[in-house]
Structure 1
Amino acid sequence: MKIATYNVNGINARLPVLLQWLKEAVPDIVCLQELKAPQERFPLKEINDAGYQAIWNGQKSWNGVAILSKDLEITEVQRALPGNTEDLQSRYIEAIIDEMVICCLYLPNGNPYPGPKFDYKLDWLKRFKRRTNKLIKMELPAVLIGDFNIIPEPRDVYKPERWENDALFRTEVRKVYRELLNKGWVDSIRTLYPDDTVYTFWDYLYKAYDRNAGIRLDHILLSPYLHSGLQSGGVDSHVRGWTKSSDHAPVWIQLEK
């Protein structure tokens, strides 16, 4: 089974890129972030025509998450991260597919640091930890997948010394990421490429993609009950070079259940 994540940075504006990648990569399950479209403007017909069913939670102008499945039924669990009923930002959707819990997330950016956006990010992370701890305690096969807006380690960013006070690289958020791993969640891409430089995002400015001045922000974390099935994975970095592409590239793993 091939499971992928892709921050599309505007699903309607970049729909041709998404459809081209789906045809090329043929993933079984895809989690999308940053739809930047209200619920009624999700391009369901085009997604269906490409061979995928979908559940999604859109939001006008910003945010928005979706889960696509090629052949397997999607059973929606929830479309908001528990713990704060006043949080209306569309950043989380959870479903069961083939007896796996798929948690698609678009974690808050948090910039500028310090400030209310960073405080919101820390609160979101607290709630996220509570949910992931429950999944571990229930001993469920689960996948935490999406744009985490967290750079886990210095090797995950070009010139890390420039990022010390950026909300993506602050010690507070990196600590939470380490805590997830300590609880048993497995960073699939880092497990497969323990010594390699791996990036998933390249800014549009300063020819960052051409210089490979990137960041690793998009992650696929597996619960301990799926770790043994991890076969392969990677980043489709060439997609970042396509015309009118997102500033993120798709990330994928191959899993044997």
Structure 2
Amino acid sequence: MKIATYNVNGINGRLPVLIKWLESSKPDIVCLQELKATQDKFPIAEINRAGYQAIWNGQKQWNGVAILSKGYEMTEVQSTLPGNANDIQSRYLEVIIDQIVICCLYLPNGNPFPGPKFEYKMDWIKRLKKRSKQFIDMDLPAILVGDFNIIPTENDVHKPEKWKDDALFQPEVRRAYNQLLKNGWTDSIRTLFPDEKIYTFWDYLYKAYDRNAGIRLDHILLSPYLKSSLINGGVDKEVRGWTKSSDHAPVWIELERNKYAKFIK
């Protein structure tokens, strides 16, 4: 099973890029973030023609998440992260696919730092940690996948000193990410490439992509149940260089289904 995440940065404006990537990469499951489209403006007809079904939670402007599936049935669990009934931002979508819990995440950016947006980010992370602990406690096959808006370590950013005042790189944010790993979650890309400089986002300014001056924000975390199933993964960096592409690149992993399916009752 090939599972991917992609912050499309506006699904309708970048639909040709998304479809081209789907046709070339052929992922089975895709988590999308930053749709920037209301529920009724999601391009489901085009997604269906590409061979995928979809569950989505649209929202105007900056938010919106979706999960695409090719060949696997999906059951929606919830479209909001538990813990704050007043949170109306579309940043979380939880489904079950092939008896695996797939959580599509679009964590808040948190800038400007300090301020209320950063406080909202930290509260969101706190709620995520609580929900993710439930998966661990229940020993469920689960995946946290999406744009975390967190740069985990200095190895995940070009020139770390330039990010010291940014919400993406604050010590408490990085500690929270590290706590997820300590709780049992596996950073799949870093596990596969422990020492390499791997980025998933390049700003549009200052020819950041051409200089490979990027950061790693998009992550796929596996619960202990699935850790041994991880066999491959990577970043489709070339997609970032396509015309009218998102400032993020797709990130993907492959799981060997035979290794996890035999444990699922």
Is the shorter-chain TM-score for this pair beyond 0.5, marking a shared fold?
yes
Give the structure 1 partner of residue 189 of structure 2: 189
1 CA distance for matches of 2:181 and 2:62? Answer: 29
How many aligned residue pairs are there? 257
2 CA distance for matches of 1:62 and 1:190? Answer: 28
Give the structure 2 partner of residue 21 of structure 1: 21
Give the structure 2 partner of residue 229 of structure 1: 229
2 CA distance for matches of 1:84 and 1:77? Answer: 17
Identity of aligned residues (%): 74
Residue 61 of structure 1 and its aligned partner are, at CA, apart by: 1.3
Give the structure 2 partner of residue 79 of structure 1: 79
TM-score by length of 2: 0.97
List aligned pairs for 1:115-154, cutoff 5 A: 115-154=115-154
Q: Does the residue aligned with 1:66 lie in a helix, a strand or coil?
A: strand
1 CA distance for matches of 2:165 and 2:11? Answer: 30
Residue 165 of structure 1 and its aligned partner are, at CA, apart by: 1.4
Q: Name structure 1 gaps, 5 residues minimum.
A: none
2 CA distance for matches of 1:185 and 1:139? Answer: 12
2 CA distance for matches of 1:24 and 1:82? Answer: 36
2 CA distance for matches of 1:148 and 1:180? Answer: 12
Q: Name structure 2 gaps, 5 residues minimum.
A: 258-265
Give the structure 1 partner of residue 204 of structure 2: 204
Residue type of the alignment partner of 1:219: H
Q: Which structure 1 residue ranges, 4+ long, deviate > 4 Å from structure 2?
A: none
Residue type of the alignment partner of 2:28: D
Residue 174 of structure 1 and its aligned partner are, at CA, apart by: 0.3
Give the structure 1 partner of residue 67 of structure 2: 67
TM-score by length of 1: 1.00
1 CA distance for matches of 2:42 and 2:138? Answer: 33
Deviations along 1:71-122, one digit per CA (max 9) or x if unpaired, are 1000000000000010000000000000000000000000000000000000
Residue type of the alignment partner of 1:28: D
2 CA distance for matches of 1:138 and 1:63? Answer: 30
Residue type of the alignment partner of 1:224: P
Give the structure 1 partner of residue 91 of structure 2: 91
Give the structure 2 partner of residue 239 of structure 1: 239
